[in-house]
Chain A
Amino acid sequence: MSTTAVAEAATPGGSKEEQEALQASIFQRLHPRAYLERFLAEGFRPDGRALDAWREVSVNTGSISTADGSALVRLGNTTVVCGVKAEIAEPELDAGARGFLVPNLDLPAMCSPRFKPGPPSEDAQVLSDRLTEALTSSGVLPLESLCIHPGKAVWVLYVDATCINYDGNAFDATLLAMVAALKNTRLPVATYDETTRRTTCSRKEPRRPLELGRIPVSASFGIFDSNQVLADPTAFEEPLLDTTISVLLNEGSGELISVSQFGLGSASCDALGVCIAQARAQGKRARI
């Protein structure tokens, strides 16, 4: 390899182990594809996981006191914070009893060198859109349950997620954070006064949790070299993948809600079947 010469030239000193580590990291930077291929040939991934293994998940809810509900999710090194803010608005004329659910994901410049400061990047827009689709299609929150007074006042739930550290698979992490924040949300009891036309809330009555319906969980996979299925891809693996498949399941029953695929469809193995089976297995593990 020509990289060996580069590495040796760069480090005249240092122990043998250090030199080897440096050579490996230079190889990774210069030939990411070959680097990943060699790991996969041995049946492992660069972070030591097996191909179908998931990174560790941790969920911490209710730590933000200014939000009505909040969650912090870590999926390996990927970290997402999500906060729910409830506000009151007039409903749409054609749907007087339906509230609003407004999920947004922000990928700020701080979470990865890939992102630039400024308005939402294309990645953030696509992810926000997919998250909205996942939350609405699963019916996680019946919008009628957000009604305060038909035609006059409804709740608006702004579900804002911010990525703090982007190490791949932001979709799964964010969906988990959003659902956990919704589960953690407590709304005050609100009443609409016909005579004053004002909606007021009470501090005396205890806050109530949301009436959540089906809980969606998602599992994302990447397909490398059209035959290797990598579960829960990292930021290093993501740009090298041909295809990404996200399987959305109902947490309780394990039934499919949706399957989406991005990228080339020419998978030589039965990738979809493998992904769905692995997603079911992961869904069961996540519940315990």
Chain B
Amino acid sequence: MAQSGFDRRRINGPEESFAPLYEDEEAQDQWKVGRLRLGRNPDNIRPIFLQPGLIDQANGSAYIETGNTKIACAIYGPRQSKNVAFHDKGRLNVELKFTPFSCPKRRAPIRDAEDRSIAMAIHQAILPSVRLETLPKATIDIFITVIEADGIEGCIASGSIAASAALIDAGIEVFGLVASTSAAIVGDDVWLDPTHEEASNSKGTFVLSCMPALGTLTSLWQNGVITPTELITCMDTCEKQCAEMHAVVAQTLRETVTVS
């Protein structure tokens, strides 16, 4: 990958370097469009591991792993807003960073458009759940680091769950826990929680975030070609999955977070 210029704040490598090229195609039997899903059923998600409170420097934190996707999230705040005019509502900042080794191709440590669009998606997913009106003049900073990514949709979904769990770990008032599920339309089927490869071979992708405890949706993200009927099926399957996930996340939080 070409490096864009010289950055004197970092240790620099050569001006240009490229990811290795392989002469032979991947030896494994590759999945092709039209075949059955490898490894799991269309409505199965990858196993989730969630651990709240790993980062002791932060007010609240959570680490989530779904398959190969590994995301750490830390919350600082509510703390005083700096350099901003008076607000009678609190502010919620979401910042997301990919580690340089998180993707098949190295990411130079520069903020790009993808970081921001995922951060915005997560912001939208959790914003309706936070009681910002109780925190005038304050800022809540949510920092998310993607240690390893497998599918952008999965990053948004796992990131939202981690952020919501971390908010609760930080003891910040919320209306409800946010659960989030991603899906892809592959052929005529709805495949939940697609990997990077599955999502790039799909017609369209979809991320649904909701608060199952209140029965309300907080955000929907849809990309690509999806017919209205498919979209409704998609929403139904995702919502059911979110409800299941909500129970598991709530149980984990009950076991680990101590009320003080």
Contact = CB atoms under 8 A, between A and B. Distances in A.
B148 A87 contact: no
A32 B100 CA distance: 37
Interface string A66-101: 110010000001010101111111111000000010
Nearest to A204: B24
B145 A164 contact: yes
A119 B9 contact: yes
Interface in B38-61: 54-58
A125 B9 CA distance: 6
Given A64-B101, A111-B55, A199 B13 contact: no
Given A66-B102, A85-B100, A167 B56 contact: yes
Given A117-B143, A202-B23, A132 B101 contact: no
B20 A87 contact: yes
Contacts of A91: 14
Interface stretch (B66-74, B175-183, B234-242): B66-74
A65 B103 CA distance: 9
B181 to A, nearest CB: 23
Interface string B4-33: 000001111110111111111011000000
B21 A160 contact: no
B22 A92 contact: no
Interface residues of A, number: 55
Given A89-B18, A203-B26, A84 B56 contact: no
Contact of A111 (B11, B14, B74, B100): B74
Contacts of B104: 66
B145 A110 contact: yes
Given A66-B103, A81-B147, A83-B101, A110 B55 contact: yes
Contacts of A167: 56-57
Contacts of B20: 86-88, 188, 190, 199, 201
Given A92-B14, A100-B13, A158-B106, A201 B68 contact: no
A4 interface: no
A109 B95 CA distance: 9
Interface residues of B, number: 46
Contacts of B58: 110, 113
A158 B21 CA distance: 17
20 contacts: A64-B148, A66-B148, A86-B20, A87-B106, A100-B17, A102-B12, A102-B13, A108-B97, A110-B74, A110-B97, A117-B143, A156-B13, A160-B109, A162-B99, A164-B55, A199-B20, A200-B22, A204-B24, A204-B27, A235-B57
Interface of A: 63-67, 70, 77, 79, 81, 83-92, 100, 102-104, 106, 108-113, 117, 119-120, 125, 128-129, 132, 156, 158, 160, 162, 164-167, 188, 190, 198-204, 235
Interface of B: 1, 9-14, 16-24, 26-27, 54-58, 68, 70, 72-74, 76, 95, 97, 99-104, 106, 109, 141, 143-145, 147-149
Given A77-B57, A125-B9, A165-B55, 16 more contacts: A66-B103, A79-B55, A81-B147, A83-B100, A83-B102, A86-B20, A87-B19, A92-B14, A100-B13, A106-B109, A109-B143, A110-B143, A111-B74, A156-B13, A156-B17, A188-B20
